[in-house]
Amino acid sequence: MKNVTIKKTDNIEYLQFNKLLEFQDELIHAYTLKTFDFGLDKRIDRKKESLKILADTFNFSENDIIQGNQKHTDNVVEIRNQEVSLENTDGLITDRKQKALLTATADCICFLIYDPQNKVIANIHSGWKGTTKRIIQKAIYMLIKDYNCKHENIICCIGPALRKDHFLVNQDVLEIFENEFADYWRKYAIAEETDLENEKGKQFKIDTILINKLMLKELGIIEKNIVDSEICTMCKKDMFYSYRVYGKDYKNNIGLIMKRK
Ligand SMILES: [Zn+2]
């Protein structure tokens, strides 16, 4: 697999981005595989157990964990010393050490972000709704404005997610994308009509990864710092959880990023 390395211990399997491993003296990061059972809230006991495994593996305490109550919003919260509300939160940013930023995804994109110059991290959950709300651009703006990051230093890694060939939508969703990203639509092959139909009519494929990459480039993130795992959660359903494959029984893959003490 390109750009990533898979690691396995007795308790957990996870993927790491080779680019972020260059900074492993100061940075911890991972995107968990399916063998790491991170259930939904209804299975709270299992979730606690899993968080303990994650914390033990990467040498942090469960108290260091910061996870937003993800709702497909464009809300990005900056973690400093004071308590903040994590309700309706899909993005987390911090320059503090020992804050384990977590997101949970199963088909949605997890962005693990690092500025090695200013030592700021971010973890962003962006499904198709987050993409149309441009949450990734909002997060990058905050890094530049609030943390003085230079766009050319920001590294943005794209986790396993549902890719174009498997992201099928109807006309209604297609139009939301077309309206929001009219400029891209004219220049790039973002959507494709298919022969498939469901009860709501004709289906289209949309390349949400490409849209997110274009949004990053628009803000000056440089090509070599946009690191794509190039993994589709549906194609690799044996390795990762996919909402579209597992339906209501789906579980989550966990994205983790933390600055070491
Ligand atoms: Zn696929």
What are the pLDDT digits (tens) for 74-132? 999 999 988 899 999 999 999 999 999 999 999 999 999 999 999 999 999 999 999 99
Q: What is the pLDDT of residue 49?
A: 82
- Number of Cβ atoms within 10 Å of the Cβ of 78: 17
Question: Which residues lie below 8 Å from residue 177, measured CB to CB, with a gap of 6+?
Answer: 128, 132, 169, 190, 191, 206, 211
- Condensed to tens digits (0 to 9), the pLDDT of residues 145-191 reads 999 999 999 999 999 999 999 999 999 999 999 999 999 998 998 99
Q: Which of 45-49, 73-77, 217-221 has the lowest mean pLDDT?
A: 45-49
Distance 52 CA to ligand 1 centre (A): 31
Distance 123 CA to ligand 1 centre (A): 23
- Between CA 96 and CA 2 the distance in angstroms is 30
Residue 9: name the closest of 28, 27, 35, 31 by CA: 35
Q: What is the pLDDT of residue 43?
A: 59
Q: What is the pLDDT of residue 125?
A: 97
Query: What is the domain range of residue 89?
Result: 4-162+221-259
Distance 232 CA to ligand 1 centre (A): 4
Question: What are the residues facing 15 on neighbouring strands?
Answer: 6, 31
Distance 95 CA to ligand 1 centre (A): 35
Higher model confidence: residue 250 or residue 102?
102
Q: Would 175 be classed as within a structural domain?
A: no
Quote the pTM value: 0.95
The confidence band for 2, taking pLDDT boundaries of 50, 70 and 90, is confident
- Between CA 135 and CA 91 the distance in angstroms is 8
Q: Would 177 be classed as within a structural domain?
A: no
Q: Would 59 be classed as within a structural domain?
A: yes
| pLDDT (mean) for 59-84 | 93
The confidence band for 252, taking pLDDT boundaries of 50, 70 and 90, is confident
Q: Would 226 be classed as within a structural domain?
A: yes
Specify the pairing of strand 27-32 against strand 253-259.
Answer: antiparallel
- Between CA 228 and CA 4 the distance in angstroms is 9
Distance 51 CA to ligand 1 centre (A): 28
- Between CA 191 and CA 205 the distance in angstroms is 5
Distance 29 CA to ligand 1 centre (A): 24
Distance 202 CA to ligand 1 centre (A): 19
Distance 168 CA to ligand 1 centre (A): 11
Q: What is the pLDDT of residue 40?
A: 56
Q: Would 211 be classed as within a structural domain?
A: no
The mean predicted confidence, pLDDT, of the chain is: 93
Distance 160 CA to ligand 1 centre (A): 10
Q: What is the pLDDT of residue 173?
A: 96
Q: What is the pLDDT of residue 34?
A: 86
| pLDDT (mean) for 208-224 | 97
Distance 129 CA to ligand 1 centre (A): 19
* Residue where the block lists tokens 């693990």: 112
Distance 227 CA to ligand 1 centre (A): 18
Distance 206 CA to ligand 1 centre (A): 12
Q: Would 84 be classed as within a structural domain?
A: yes
Q: What is the pLDDT of residue 44?
A: 62
Q: What is the pLDDT of residue 85?
A: 94
CATH of residue 8's domain is 3.60.140.10
Q: Do residues 233 and 162 lie in contact, with contact meaning Cβ atoms separated by under 8 Å?
A: yes
What percent of the chain has pLDDT above 90?
Answer: 82
* The residue type at 61: S
Tokens of 148: 């003085």
Distance 88 CA to ligand 1 centre (A): 28
Q: What is the pLDDT of residue 47?
A: 78
Tally of domains within the chain = 1
Q: Would 185 be classed as within a structural domain?
A: no
Distance 86 CA to ligand 1 centre (A): 31
Q: Would 127 be classed as within a structural domain?
A: yes
Q: Do residues 19 and 222 lie in contact, with contact meaning Cβ atoms separated by under 8 Å?
A: no
